[in-house]
Structure formats: C-alpha cells, structure tokens
C-alpha cells in the first residue's frame, strides 16, 4: 500500500491505496473535490461534513443509475442475442416430433 495525501475542499486527508493506483485515486479525489466545491459554492451545504455527505449521496445516486443502465443494457443484449440465435436444438426436436405425430394422425385419419 502507498500513503497518499488528498485535498478535498481545502482539507488534506491521509489515505492509502494499492501501489500503482496513486494516479487513479488522485484523479477520483479531484472529481470529489470539484463536486464538493460546487455544492459549497451553490450554498446547498456548509461546514466540513455536510458537503461531503451530500457529495457522497450524489455519487451513490450516479453509481446506482449506472448499475441500472448497465443491467438494462445486459438484458437488451441477451434478448437480442436470443432473437438472433434462432430455434434451439430442443425446439427443433419438438417441432419434428409434432410434425411426425401430425403425419401419423393424417395417415390414420386419411
């Protein structure tokens, strides 16, 4: 683990992250800092903790929306793949069996 100092809304936080992830964690901290500063600037929250809590809630909502969108896309992809796949071997076997039965009924009735 690597020690890292992150500054969010003018306050420095000492954190640790996996070695090699410092740049990524730093970039995430910059995004959080920008969001917190936007919240403070808009007057939506003040103090030290309230803007951080509001930012966390906003990011959690964004993450939830992304998960929902991803799930919807996976479902659409699965439906498209299934539609393009055509009938399964079991469906083809069932159709052949029904055709054979229909032929037998026709010959008996005929």
pLDDT digit string (tens) for 6-60?
999 999 999 999 999 999 999 999 999 999 999 999 999 989 999 999 999 999 9
User: How far, in Å, CA of 65 to CA of 53, rounded?
Assistant: 18
Percent of the chain with pLDDT over 70: 98
How far is Cα 101 from Cα 91, in angstroms, rounded to an integer?
A: 15
Closest CA to 29 of 21, 20, 67, 48: 21
Rounded to 5 degrees, what are φ and ψ at 5? -105, 125
């Amino acid at each position: 683990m690597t020690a890292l100092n992150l500054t969010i809304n003018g306050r420095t936080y000492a954190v640790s992250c996996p070695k090699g992830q410092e740049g990524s964690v730093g970039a995430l901290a910059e995004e959080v800092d920008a969001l917190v500063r936007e919240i403070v600037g808009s007057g939506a929250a003040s103090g030290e903790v309230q803007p951080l809590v509001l930012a966390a809630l906003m990011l959690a909502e964004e993450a939830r929306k992304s998960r929902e969108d991803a799930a919807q896309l996976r479902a659409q992809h699965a439906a498209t793949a299934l539609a393009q796949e055509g009938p399964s071997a079991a469906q083809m076997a069932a159709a052949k069996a029904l055709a054979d039965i229909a032929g037998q009924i026709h010959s008996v009735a005929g």
